[in-house]
């Protein structure tokens, strides 16, 4: 029996690295993305060359109909769902809260909070044993920003990730009795394209040098923790929020 994981935002960065590692460990992978189909196809090729089955699942996580369709399609193609990685997330250019416009804050909360909660709901509806599922594991992507606050950069993003920590705790208690474990990973400064989208492509390298381990982390290093939390190797871990921050 091949296990199936659906990963949001798997076209690039941490989501892609997680897809590739999960495939190497024998999982089939549903690859969600929002815009970048070419990058999603590259992820699919990496999954397949690692020995896994891949299926592209385009859709904006902040749109309820798209989220439901994405989960339905994943079940239709693979026939089961064992893991879900709530990874899609965005930042915006750094600035103090006083300078942020409402549209920017709404975009951050729509994607990072509303989208993540909708996706978690749909995963539970398909995995929880009291709803006809077979149990499974959810891994949510939080951020070290949730405890650092990201002053003068993006306190909106930091708050959106704090909501992920809280959802992880509450949801783990709701669905533990129904065979679903829910955990979160809090990356620190990881070398991906997200920093360029916040206007500072060198952010991870520059700030990473100031961490106790003296460097930025890689997407692959975060994927190792995510895939461990998906796997039976972490079978007694739920409601945990694990820092992967080089000590930051
Ligand atoms: P990237 O910017 O490299 O990749 C983001 C991914 O999310 C892409 O696949 C993108 O798709 C997808 N995406 C963005 N918006 C949506 C949406 N509305 N619906 C569906 N997919 C969407 O990000 P990272 O890999 O760096 O980050 C992954 C997660 O880790 C995020 O939640 C982030 O907040 C978190 N994180 C990252 C840190 C870092 O330093 N990199 C630090 C702490 C947390 P497309 O390619 O189509 O645009």
What pLDDT, on a 0 to 100 scale, did the predictor assign at position 66? 98
At 7-64, the pLDDT tens digits run 999 999 999 999 999 999 999 999 999 999 999 999 999 999 999 999 999 999 999 9
Measured from CB, residues less than 6 Å from any atom of ligand 1 are: 8-15, 32-36, 39, 60-62, 87-90, 111, 115, 141, 143, 187, 189-190, 192-194, 197, 204
The CATH code that applies to domain 4-244 is: 3.40.50.720
At 134-175, the pLDDT tens digits run 999 999 999 999 999 999 999 999 999 999 999 999 999 999
At 213-237, the pLDDT tens digits run 999 999 999 999 999 999 999 999 9
HSE of 88, CA atoms in CB hemisphere, 13 A = 35
Among this protein's residues, is 157 annotated catalytic?
yes
- Model-wide pTM > 0.85: yes
Nearest atom, ligand 1, residue 58 CA = 20
Nearest atom, ligand 1, residue 187 CA = 43
Find, among 167, 71, 151, 70, the residue nearest to 112 by Cα. Answer: 167
What pLDDT, on a 0 to 100 scale, did the predictor assign at position 1? 87
User: Which of 59, 88, 111 has most ligand 1 atoms within 8 Å of CB, for mutation?
Assistant: 88
């Amino acid at each position: 029996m091949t296990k199936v994981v659906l990963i949001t935002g798997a076209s690039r960065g941490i989501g892609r690295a997680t897809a590739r590692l999960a495939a190497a460990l024998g999982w089939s992978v549903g690859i969600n993305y929002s815009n970048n189909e070419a990058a999603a196809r590259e992820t699919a090729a990496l999954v397949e060359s690692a020995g896994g089955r891949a299926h592209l699942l385009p859709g904006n996580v902040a749109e309820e109909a798209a989220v439901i369709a994405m989960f339905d399609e994943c079940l239709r193609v693979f026939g089961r769902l064992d893991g879900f990685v709530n990874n899609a997330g965005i930042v915006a250019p750094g600035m103090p809260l006083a300078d942020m416009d409402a549209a920017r804050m709404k975009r951050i909360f729509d994607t990072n909070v509303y989208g993540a909660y909708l996706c978690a709901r749909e995963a539970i509806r398909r995995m929880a044993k009291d709803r006809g599922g077979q149990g499974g594991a959810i891994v949510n992507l939080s951020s070290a920003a949730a405890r650092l606050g990201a002053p003068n950069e993006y306190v909106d993003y930091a708050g959106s990730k704090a909501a992920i920590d809280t959802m992880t705790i509450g949801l783990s208690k709701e669905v533990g009795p129904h065979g679903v474990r829910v955990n979160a990973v809090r990356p620190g400064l990881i070398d991906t394209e997200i920093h360029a989208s916040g206007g500072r492509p060198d952010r991870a390298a520059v700030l990473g040098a100031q961490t106790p381990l003296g460097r930025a982390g890689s997407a692959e290093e975060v994927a190792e923790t995510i895939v461990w939390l998906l796997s039976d190797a972490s079978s007694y871990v739920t409601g945990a929020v694990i820092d992967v921050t080089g000590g930051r």
